[in-house]
Amino acid sequence: MKIVSTVEELRIALPTNQTIGFVPTMGYLHEGHMSLVENARRENDVVVMSIFVNPTQFGPNEDLDRYPRDFERDEKLARDAGVDVLFYPTTETMYPLDMARVTVHHGADVLCGASRPGHFDGVLTIVSKLFNLVQPTRAYFGLKDAQQVALIEGYVRDYFVPVEIRRCPIIREETGLAKSSRNVYLSDVETVEASRIFSALTMAREALDTGQQVDEVKRQLTERLNEIPNSQIDYVELVDYPTLGAVSSDSTELLLAVAIQFERARLIDNVIWKKG
């Protein structure tokens, strides 16, 4: 595995005339990230992973400074998973001029976009920079961040970016808790309680299967999430997927998405419900 941190080193390390599968991450790797690498390995000649905690997607009072980082551990995990090129740039490399950001209009004002203003501008900015540098054949994103996937797909379509976006399923603990770098901030008790998020989402999906109305499903889901002690609901939403607009009679896929604030970690999770 080649480890590179400058644009020049990356350009030298990238292959020509081979397919490139790209896995962008913020590091502190877990099985969720590894599943993206596995998919990328299967479908491409070469796998490139980036590790970069992107400052522009964090708000002023968010956890940029204390976001977990452990490059030595990540390097080993990436090598063992079969990553060929690991791009580990500095902030100065990624933001040489502090230039304008990509702005997202449609779909950035709901769910995490409503709670974290400017977050998706930061995400799209770094994703577009990384795509320009790596020029991947395919790029792999987890449905853990379903809104992010939808906005990146929209960006790629709208800007004619020559890359195929691959959606990957959410990897969970046995308890149902979605794997996340931020889970290290949960206490033991919170880790147990947080598994109720997925149970509540599963029950909501089952309620949709039995034909219950969206408003009623949302009410019950909210009630169940409210029962999780020492936590606060940031949002509970059911929206059309991947448009992220309001659910209508034409909707064939619904995103049930939640964000729950624990003492030191804000967790997001979701399920997608398909009609029929």
Known active-site residue 33:
yes
Selected catalytic residue, list 30, 33, 105, 119: 33
Choose, by CB under 6 A, the member of 171, 177, 194, 236 that binds ligand AMP.
171
Stretch that binds ligand AMP, among 163-171, 211-219, 230-238, 265-273 (CB under 6 A): 163-171
Return the residue nearest ligand AMP (CB atom). 142
Per-residue mark of binding to ligand AMP, 24-63 (x: CB under 6 A): -xx-----xx-xx---------------------------
Does 144 help bind ligand AMP (rule: CB under 6 A)?
yes
Per-residue mark of binding to ligand AMP, 103-142 (x: CB under 6 A): --------------------------------------xx
Q: How far apart are the first and last CA of the chain?
A: 45
When the beta carbons of 81 and 207 are compared against ligand AMP, the nearer one is: 81
Choose, by CB under 6 A, the member of 101, 138, 179, 218 that binds ligand AMP.
179
Binding stretches for ligand AMP (CB under 6 A): 25-26, 32-33, 35-36, 141-142, 144-145, 168, 170-171, 178-181
Active site amino acids: 33
